[in-house]
A and B are shown apart, each in its own frame.
Chain A
Amino acid sequence: MRKFDTKVQYLKYKVLREVAKEAFADRLPETAIDIPKMIVPGKVPTMRCCVYKERAILSERVKLAMGGNKSNPNVIEVIDIACDECPMGGYEVTNACRGCLAHRCEDVCRFGAISFDSNHVAHIDKSKCRECGACSKVCPYSAIHNYRRPCESACKVKAISMGAEKQACIDNEKCISCGACVYQCPFGAIMDKSYILNVIDMLKGSHGNRNYKIFAVVAPSISSQFTYAKLGQVITGLRELGFHTVVEAALGADMVAAAESRELAEKGFLESSCCPAFVKYIETNFPELVQHISHNLSPMATIARYIKEHEAPCKVVFIGPCTAKKAEIQRESVRPYVDAVLTFEELQALFDSREIDITALSEGVLDNASYFGRIFARSGGLADAVAEGLREQGLDFELKPCACDGIEACKLALLQKSRGKLDANFIEGMACVGGCIGGAGCLTHGEKNKAEVDKYGREAYEKTIQEAISVLKSN
């Protein structure tokens, strides 16, 4: 069964796997320089103009797999030499234009930007074109194409522009580290930094969890990943890697849902704080709305804090679909609780670097959270959980949620709020379309993922938030 959506992910994975293998064998950093040749042996290029360019790019990927550029605070980086400098001319008429008689393009253009040559072929006057795309939509031959760079189209916060050498450049002030560009660049020229070596060091240093215990906190979206195996086998695989045990981030979500519903009832209006990319987006673009961000830590940080407070000495590694979580743990408020973040891509590389075939393992158990904590992984889940939290705690507050997935939807709701026109008292903001299941660090992004998350939610042993968090009150 396919493990990845694209060959770019597969390439990135191979680099991570080799880096992890060398790290486990204590051969880094000496052998780092040899990894590109291990992945691209021989003389025949398969991806670029020549094997030397392929290897040059791979050595950049190796650097990112080993933590990337330390002087760049952003967890997302451009690999300049991997950027194919895609054309970006905007709307242009292609040679599919047949010089027809109808001229729908001309009629629909409100800016008078379309004219015709002696062969009746359409031309766009760039000085008049406003890039509305109307002509492209009406052409019966689909002859008008929008040349936009996939990274720029993917970046809804407009943090990507073209640099002096035509390569993609990221504006760190605007970037929310959501990773949309990482997933969308067809040349794999934008990557998230990996902290896989930090995790390997922690695993080695724990000496079988005797020096300190290492906890894997896994995001509920894991239920839609590793579809070639059973979830229980992934849990056993994590233990084989050397983790002391696995805890659901969804239990942190249950804790957040209970606290968030109380905070909402008290304040009357809130923006959710679970998605770090959404939080950064508000901070950057709507400073006047920062006061309404929920004071709760994210589910990841909430459960990690609980673990740190009760299981010392210990380390906590979060494993999820998210690149922005890598940025979240750099925040002062979260840094003490989470030691490293891995994506599902990186976990797959870790398994394979140790030659752990999870499909051959027995099934472990993962059950800490309720249905409501688990459905945080998909859009609308947090709002459902807050409604349940209000109900269970008998709070008399009429919830009017506005669940937004994708930064464009978030932007719309925040704009309405800033103008006093939002008919809602709770904004659930998720930077990725579909919620966390659309995260850039997912192995696969599929239609069925939402159904998988709901199914996993229903399988929870505890049915209510209060039941799930009641075990924590023993402390």
Chain B
Amino acid sequence: MKVTVCIGSSCHIKGSRQVVESLQYLIEQSRLEDKVELGGTFCMGRCQQGVCVTVDGEFHSVTPDTVKEFFEKEVRARA
């Protein structure tokens, strides 16, 4: 499973670093390192909806507050 977080300027100021750090932590805690590939990209062209995250190409809008919920539903449940 490939999870990509936007680290472009717009998402960055909306907290993409916190989202990346949380995901790293949650993936590690859930021992999903072998199954989930976490990556970054500069801009997905949907800056209004940031922080932009894709799971195997499927778009999600995430914030530092909703990252745990997102992880449970879209990553852990499907990995």
CB of B1 closer than 8 Å to a CB of A? no
B35 to chain A, nearest CB (A): 16
User: Could you say which residues of chain B place their CB within 8 Å of the CB of A368?
Assistant: 7-9, 12, 42
> Do B24 and A474 touch across chains, with their CB atoms under 8 A apart?
yes
In the complex, which residue of chain B has the Cβ closest to the Cβ of A314? B42
> Do B39 and A366 touch across chains, with their CB atoms under 8 A apart?
no
B5 to chain A, nearest CB (A): 6
A368-B7, A462-B17 as given contacts; A471 in contact with B43, CB under 8 Å:
no
A471-B7, A471-B12, A474-B38 as given contacts; A244 in contact with B43, CB under 8 Å:
yes
In the complex, which residue of chain B has the Cβ closest to the Cβ of A366? B9
Q: B13 is contacted by which of A365, A471, A474, A475 (Cβ under 8 Å)?
A: A365
CB of B10 closer than 8 Å to a CB of A? yes
Q: A365 is contacted by which of B9, B41, B45 (Cβ under 8 Å)?
A: B9
Per-residue interface assignment for chain B, residues 21 to 65, with 1 indicating a CB less than 8 Å from any chain A CB and 0 otherwise = 101100000000000001111110101000000000000000000
CB of A423 closer than 8 Å to a CB of B? no
Instruction: Please indicate which of the listed interface residues B10, B39, B43, B47 has the most CB atoms of chain A within 10 Å of its own CB.
Output: B43
B39 to chain A, nearest CB (A): 5
A472–B13 alpha-carbon span in the complex (Å): 15
User: Could you say which residues of chain A place their CB within 8 Å of the CB of B39?
Assistant: 310, 474-475
CB of A201 closer than 8 Å to a CB of B? no
Total interface residues on A, CB under 8 Å, equals 24
CB of A311 closer than 8 Å to a CB of B? yes
CB of A383 closer than 8 Å to a CB of B? no
> Do A367 and B12 touch across chains, with their CB atoms under 8 A apart?
yes
A470–B38 alpha-carbon span in the complex (Å): 13
| Chain B interface residue bracket vs A | 20 to 34
A215–B10 alpha-carbon span in the complex (Å): 15
> Do A367 and B20 touch across chains, with their CB atoms under 8 A apart?
no
A409–B10 alpha-carbon span in the complex (Å): 40
User: Could you say which residues of chain B place their CB within 8 Å of the CB of A144?
Assistant: none
User: Could you say which residues of chain B place their CB within 8 Å of the CB of A248?
Assistant: 9
> Do B43 and A245 touch across chains, with their CB atoms under 8 A apart?
yes
CB of A358 closer than 8 Å to a CB of B? no
> Do A246 and B9 touch across chains, with their CB atoms under 8 A apart?
yes
> Do A474 and B20 touch across chains, with their CB atoms under 8 A apart?
yes
B19 to chain A, nearest CB (A): 9
CB of A307 closer than 8 Å to a CB of B? yes
> Do A472 and B9 touch across chains, with their CB atoms under 8 A apart?
no
CB of A461 closer than 8 Å to a CB of B? yes
> Do B9 and A474 touch across chains, with their CB atoms under 8 A apart?
no
> Do A215 and B7 touch across chains, with their CB atoms under 8 A apart?
no
B11 to chain A, nearest CB (A): 9
A139 to chain B, nearest CB (A): 57
A:242-278 near B, CB below 8 Å = 244-248
B55 to chain A, nearest CB (A): 14
A245-B43, A307-B42, A310-B41 as given contacts; A470 in contact with B9, CB under 8 Å:
no
A:427-475 near B, CB below 8 Å = 461-462, 467, 470-475
A247–B17 alpha-carbon span in the complex (Å): 16
User: Could you say which residues of chain A place their CB within 8 Å of the CB of B42?
Assistant: 215, 245, 247, 307, 311, 368
A367–B14 alpha-carbon span in the complex (Å): 11
User: Could you say which residues of chain A place their CB within 8 Å of the CB of B8?
Assistant: 245, 247, 368
User: Could you say which residues of chain B place their CB within 8 Å of the CB of A461?
Assistant: 12-13
> Do B12 and A474 touch across chains, with their CB atoms under 8 A apart?
no
Instruction: Please indicate which of the listed interface residues B8, B20, B47 has the most CB atoms of chain A within 10 Å of its own CB.
Output: B8
> Do B40 and A475 touch across chains, with their CB atoms under 8 A apart?
yes
User: Could you say which residues of chain A place their CB within 8 Å of the CB of B7?
Assistant: 368, 471-472, 474
User: Could you say which residues of chain A place their CB within 8 Å of the CB of B45?
Assistant: 244
User: Could you say which residues of chain A place their CB within 8 Å of the CB of B24?
Assistant: 473-474
A458–B76 alpha-carbon span in the complex (Å): 38
A364 to chain B, nearest CB (A): 8
Q: A474 is contacted by which of B10, B40, B43, B47 (Cβ under 8 Å)?
A: B40
A474–B3 alpha-carbon span in the complex (Å): 10
User: Could you say which residues of chain B place their CB within 8 Å of the CB of A245?
Assistant: 8-9, 42-43
A247–B43 alpha-carbon span in the complex (Å): 10
In the complex, which residue of chain A has the Cβ closest to the Cβ of B8? A245
Smallest CB-CB A-B distances: 7 pairs: A245-B43, A365-B9, A471-B7, A367-B9, A474-B40, A365-B10, A474-B38
What are 5 A-B pairs with beta-carbon distances under 8 A? A245-B9, A310-B41, A367-B9, A471-B20, A475-B40
A contacts, CB < 8 Å to B: 215, 235, 244-248, 307, 310-311, 364-368, 461-462, 467, 470-475
Further 12 A-B residue pairs, CB within 8 A, beyond A472-B7, A475-B38: A244-B45, A246-B9, A365-B9, A367-B9, A367-B13, A368-B9, A368-B42, A461-B13, A471-B12, A471-B40, A474-B20, A474-B38
